[in-house]
Amino acid sequence: MRAGTITLALLALLLPACASSPGPYRPSQTILRMPPVDYGPPGDARNPPQGPFQPNAYLRTCPGMRVSNAPPLDTERWIIDFKPIIVAFGVVLATAPVNDVCLASGFGLRNGRVHNGIDLTNRPPGLIYSGAPGRVVEARTSSGYGLTVVIDHGQGVYTRYAHMDYLAPGIAPGVALGFGHPVGQMGASGNAQGPHLHYEILTGNIDNPKGSFGLVAHDPFSFPAYAPVASPGY
């Protein structure tokens, strides 16, 4: 799969990460606009345009909840050294591809089972966006994950978006998406106790007997931050 060269324009004043949380918010922060990232041949007509998503600068755990496997937090539950944009095995990805959310569950062992992603929620439920340019390889309902989309970002890297209420227009297997393209609405389909996004970063070869469930899941908070190289005009 090849997604084309695309500039991820991330210059914006970013909202705090959990709009429903009480207490003082962190000051808004600007993320530097990233230079072009080469995902394929320049000028390729199949290159999808960038979507409207711009990630929040901060993320905190949800109030009134015991959040399993949370990364280190400060006294106001903000994730210390949160990285909004990461590099996962050579692919530049959004750590949390939704806006104004809080972390309801982290990655790792939970209630005796491995939780293969992170859970992000807000009220009212918000739109979910593609974490990086890629091509949809799954858009279907499963018994546990409910309405789910899996995107292939190349280099053996995939993302899964689960428990959605509905898909955004045009989302179907084979469709190419740019960074920040709407994928669907956060929901509570499948085995979900309330509206949220279950988000996974996966690696491997999807052409295996188990499909996307045969891929290896990774903790989104474990990857290094993307560090754009300064160049004239940026």
- The strand pair at 108-110 and 113-115 is best described as antiparallel
Half-sphere exposure of 120 (CA within 13 A, CB side): 29
- In the chain, the percentage of residues whose pLDDT exceeds 70 is 77
Return the pLDDT at 229: 58
Contact 163, 200 (CB under 8 A): no
Contact 12, 55 (CB under 8 A): no
* More confident position, 202 or 4: 202
Nearest residue to 225 (alpha-carbon basis) of 45, 34, 47, 26 = 34
Return the pLDDT at 187: 93
- Residue 201's pLDDT band (boundaries 50, 70, 90)? very high
Measured over the CA atoms of residue 68, residue 30, residue 160 and residue 196, the dihedral's sign is: positive
Please state whether the predicted TM-score (pTM) of the whole model is above 0.85. no
Amino acid at 54: Q
Q: Is the pLDDT of residue 144 over 60?
A: yes
The H helix count followed by the E strand count for the chain is 0, 14
SS3 assignment, position 221: helix
Q: Stretch 196-212: mean pLDDT, rounded?
A: 94
- The strand pair at 127-129 and 134-142 is best described as unpaired
Return the pLDDT at 50: 84
Return the pLDDT at 12: 32
Mean pLDDT rounded to a whole number for the chain? 81
* More confident position, 227 or 47: 227
Residue 131 CB contacts under 8 Å (≥ 6 apart), including other chains: 93, 94, 97, 151, 153, 159, 179, 199, 201
* Interatomic CA distance for residues 200 and 94, integer angstroms: 11
Return the pLDDT at 159: 97
The per-residue pLDDT for range 58-112, each reduced to its tens digit, is 999 998 888 888 999 999 999 999 999 999 999 999 999 999 999 998 888 877 7
Q: What domains are there in the chain, each with its CATH number?
A: 1-228 (2.70.70.10)
Q: What is the CA radius of gyration of the chain?
A: 17
Q: Is the pLDDT of residue 214 over 80?
A: yes
The per-residue pLDDT for range 16-41, each reduced to its tens digit, is 333 333 334 454 444 434 444 445 54
Return the pLDDT at 109: 81
Contact 144, 172 (CB under 8 A): no
Return the pLDDT at 25: 43
- Judged by average pLDDT, the poorest of 113-117, 173-177, 211-215, 221-225 is 113-117
